[in-house]
Structure formats: structure tokens, C-alpha cells
Amino acid sequence: MHKYDLIFHHMGLAVSSPVKALLFLHGMGYKSGETILDTIQNVQLIMCSHAQMPDIELIFKTQTRGPVDFILKDRTELIYHFCYETDSLEETLHAFQKDGLVVRTLSKPKPAVLFGGRKVSFYHITGLGIIEILEKNPVE
């Protein structure tokens, strides 16, 4: 295991509408799950999976203003985050700090509907971009 204890989980693709993205992904052999409304994150989500390729999470607007409005301010689609799983968020963040990475918390841990209530949090790492960290342990 490496020092950050992170395992790649998926890429996050923000879209103004999922229709064309789903058309492309289905053409590539991806299977898509149900559309999930996550009222905590204020987004709609569809997880797309493929046996040989990375999972892609489609993220799109709800009826109210939310984070997708900011992400897609100047465009209609954008891969904007990579998600990683960890056994210990605290240890992962400590390892980042120990290496001198500049990490800014964008969203503190909160339950994610798409992942059965497991907690997710978002961070901006200078020189890398935005990552989502999904805690492996279910909510207790």
C-alpha cells in the first residue's frame, strides 16, 4: 500500500444534461445505474460502469441552484474530479500534510446517497485539482 491509502474509485463528469453523455457511454459499453437525487449535495447523479474501463459518475443539476451551476459556469461538460476510497480519512489527510501538499477543504464529510450513506468529502490539492474521498467504512 502507498502512503496516502487511496484506491481509485471513479471520475466525476459534470454535465448540463446527461442525455448525450449517456448515449456516448452506452455506445462504449458502459452500463448506467438509476438517476439518484442527492438532496444533501444538491445534485442528480448517475453512476456508469464498465468491466474494463474506469467508472464515471455523471453529475447534473437539480431544480435549484447548486454546485453544478458553478462547475459548469463557462461550459456544458467537464471532468472535474477523481474519487478515491480510503480506510482512514484522518490518516490520508495527515499524510498529505506531512508531504507538504497544499490541501483546501471544499466540502467536509457528509453522507452520500449514491454510496449508501458512506461519507464523501471534496478537496482541492494545489497542482493537481479536485479530489473526492469516499470513506470505505459504512456509516455507523
Domain count for the chain, please give it: 1
The pairing of strands 7-15 and 55-60 is parallel
Domain assignment of residue 14, yes or no: yes
- In 3D space, the residue among 121, 81, 131, 80 whose CA is nearest the CA of residue 101 turns out to be 131
Interval 66-91: pLDDT, tens? 999 999 999 999 999 999 999 999 99
- 99 has a pLDDT exceeding 90: yes
- 56 has a pLDDT exceeding 70: yes
The pairing of strands 31-32 and 119-125 is unpaired
- 13: domain CATH number is 3.10.180.10
What percent helix, strand, coil does the chain show, rounded to 5?
20, 45, 40
Domain assignment of residue 126, yes or no: yes
What whole-number distance in Å separates Cα of residue 35 and Cα of residue 38? 10
Return the pLDDT at 138.
65
Domain assignment of residue 2, yes or no: no
Domain assignment of residue 140, yes or no: no
Domain assignment of residue 22, yes or no: yes
Domain assignment of residue 1, yes or no: no
Contacts of 121 (CB under 8 A, 6+ apart): 89, 105, 107, 108, 109, 110, 132, 133
Return the pLDDT at 21.
98
114 by Cβ neighbours in 10 Å (0-12 / 13-18 / 19+) ranks as buried
**Do 47 and 134 meet the contact criterion of CB atoms below 8 Å apart?**
no
**Domain ranges, residue 39:** 7-135
Model confidence pTM above 0.85: yes
Neighbouring-strand partners of residue 121: 133
